[in-house]
Structure 1
Amino acid sequence: MDGRVHLDNPHLNKEGQNDILYHIGLSKSHGLKKLFSDLRFVCMGGTPARMEAFARYIKTELGIELPTGADIYDIAGLGQRYAMFKVGPVLSVSHGMGAPSASILLHEVLKLLMYAECENVIVIRIGTSGGIGVEPGSVVVSSGILTDLLEETHEFHVLGKVVKRPMTLDRNLAESIRAAGHDAHPSFNTVLGKTMCANDFYEAQARVDGAICEYTLDDKMDFVKKLRDMGVVNIEMESSVFAALCAHTKVKFAMVCVTLVDRLEGDQILAPKALLEEFQDRPQKIVSAFIKRQLGLI
């Protein structure tokens, strides 16, 4: 393999055929190779504001200078769904909340990477999560993914049938990210551990503070402790589709999420806003340190 993204879809990349990447406001006819072929890292997170902030942060960290009067630009603005910013070899993109939203974006970003003939790209999700047995503010680099049914495959519904695809992560990549982050920010509690990906914020995550709850507090605690005993360190809502799609297309994927609450202690996020904002900066700093190490800047 030459390191480029190859998608196993015979309906794509036909000579003379355009492809509209509708949700990110681009198309194959936009000359994607000229615009994006130098990409090495695709960093994705939930909100447009967070990913714009990351784009500005990584611009400073990489020492990238823009022409006088220029600013970073939301490339996906015409799509009115996601925000996307390119800073040198880094693409910073918002994916929304939950697997369906993330899946739509990832399909179109993977096609962009193929049409642009990008090589050796690493996809990294940067986000927030609920922790299990780790203090709020800990940064979890995922070593494996489980669904909320405690399975290691993500279910895709295709033509009225269930298609299960494995959620495989690159352990060496995860360890490299953790090491770079620990070296650059030793005061952060940066750990490797499994992540459970839930299809919901409340019941699927065993919360007792949703509009509906048909289980007891003891039931909740039994489940969360079971997750802990299985090596699960955090819970979020997008990793399964990222891991499955990236594994299927042979694109390296990693996930770096900060924890905002220890679910063994409670369900609600009680930290002050200023502290939460500082917590949410931590995955960005860890990923930035990894990118700089990969580029030989540190």
Structure 2
Amino acid sequence: MDNNNDKCNDKNDNFEIIYDTFQMKKSQDGRLQLPNKNLTNLKSDTLYHLGMSTDTHNFEQMFGDIKFVCMGGTKSRMFEFAKLAAHELNITEPQIVDLIGSPNRFSMYKVGPIISVSHGMGIPSLSILIHEILKLLHHAKCTNVTLFRIGTSGGIDVPAGTVVITEKAVDELLRPFYEQRIFGKIVRRLVAFNQNLIKELKRIAQSQNNQGFQTITGTTMCANDFYESQLRIDGAICNHTMDDKFERLNYLKKAGVVNIEMESLVFGSMCHYVNVDAAIICVTLVKRTDGDQVRVDKQDYHEMQQRPQRLVMDFIKQRLAINHNNSNHHSNDNK
């Protein structure tokens, strides 16, 4: 590698770093509150990438019953999850309709108390989506909502097809925070997940009696791209050797990293910031110590990506059953 430092150095490379440790307090009624006072000054709020506005849509009427938001990378995956949700909850819809209008960046479906929405690939795309989803939930006055990211990833030293529940998310330098450049400053925000929710998901996974694959918990590394940041040596540009790759993969393994993806930092950071329960469940498509390229046939890929979906669906059914039982209990108490 030609290290021409003069061309890459910046004399102004001395920026203020802000460690933003804020977390919104939960409201007593469970409503999602947002830490942005500027929203109260808006006459109307346009969620541009969802094709919706408080002027043209009644968010409370449309989405006030939402308890779960499930997001994943592709439109087709989230359409399949919407169909699975309708089947599992015995919801007979004449047609599952994409609710997003122009500019058609994402797809979003509503099935009973569930939103199933695509977030695209990587931190920038998911960041846009989750900002507007959180505002949607806020305008709809939703209460006690749980968010999930269900997707795919690369496994460090676990077989392809393994389901990973993220306990902790770190960047490529193994730092547990999400870093942004805001108003000329570097802002670092904590990434954290509700460990009780993770334990509940793990318990449900153990009860599923899955054949042929494991569900594990561990640390997820969030990368900024698919190739170099994920230690691949098969991209268009690469300045590292096979030995370099295995040395770093082994280092990550010893640090507790079990899988790599591209969205966990912003998802975990924003959900923690607004204090909403959230979890990430991803299936691994490749064992990175065996190779860089994903070679999964269409049938196996379809089955693998259903594994996190089934876990989330079992969680939702149990939560809805608990809520139903609690409602019946309160009704009986009032008689």
Instruction: Bin the TM-score by the shorter chain.
Output: over 0.9
Letter in 2 for 1:20: T
Task: Tell me the residue number matched to 2:83.
Answer: 56
Matches within 5 A, 1:112-261: 112-187=136-211, 188-261=213-286
Equivalents in 1 of 2:115, 2:75: separation in Å?
A: 13
Q: CA deviation at 1:182?
A: 2.8
SS of the aligned residue for 1:11 comes to helix
Indicate conservation of the 8 Å contact 2:52/2:101, yes or no: no
Q: What is the RMSD computed on CA atoms of the aligned residues?
A: 1.4
Indicate conservation of the 8 Å contact 1:127/1:280, yes or no: yes
Q: Deviations over 1:216-245 (max 9, x none)?
A: 111111111111111111000011000011
SS of the aligned residue for 2:283 comes to strand
Give the gaps of 5 or more residues in structure 1.
none
Q: CA deviation at 1:181?
A: 2.6
Indicate conservation of the 8 Å contact 2:67/2:114, yes or no: yes
Equivalents in 1 of 2:259, 2:192: separation in Å?
A: 17
**Residues 1:20 and 2:46 aligned together:** yes
Q: Deviations over 1:112-141 (max 9, x none)?
A: 010101011111000000001211101001
Letter in 1 for 2:98: D
- The two structures have a TM-score, normalised by structure 2, of 0.85
- The two structures have a TM-score, normalised by structure 1, of 0.96
Indicate conservation of the 8 Å contact 1:178/1:286, yes or no: no
Letter in 2 for 1:104: I
SS of the aligned residue for 2:181 comes to strand
**Residues 1:274 and 2:299 aligned together:** yes
Of the structure 1 ranges 162-171 and 177-186, higher mean CA displacement relative to structure 2 is found in: 177-186
Matches within 5 A, 1:84-103: 84-103=108-127
Q: CA deviation at 1:185?
A: 4.3
Q: CA deviation at 1:271?
A: 2.5
Q: Larger Rg: 1 or 2?
A: 2
Indicate conservation of the 8 Å contact 1:257/1:283, yes or no: yes
- The change in CA–CA distance for 1:64 and 1:179 in structure 2 (over 3 A counts) is same
Equivalents in 1 of 2:209, 2:40: separation in Å?
A: 43
Q: How many residues align?
A: 294
Q: CA deviation at 1:253?
A: 1.2
Pick from 88, 94, 98: which aligns with 1:74? 98
Indicate conservation of the 8 Å contact 2:59/2:136, yes or no: yes
Letter in 1 for 2:44: N
Indicate conservation of the 8 Å contact 1:185/1:286, yes or no: no
Letter in 1 for 2:126: A
Equivalents in 1 of 2:122, 2:209: separation in Å?
A: 29
Equivalents in 2 of 1:108, 1:272: separation in Å?
A: 34
Matches within 5 A, 1:36-55: 36-55=63-82
Give the gaps of 5 or more residues in structure 2.
1-26, 325-335
Equivalents in 1 of 2:44, 2:295: separation in Å?
A: 49
Of the structure 1 ranges 219-228 and 70-79, higher mean CA displacement relative to structure 2 is found in: 70-79
Pick from 60, 79, 89: which aligns with 1:33? 60
Identity of aligned residues (%): 47
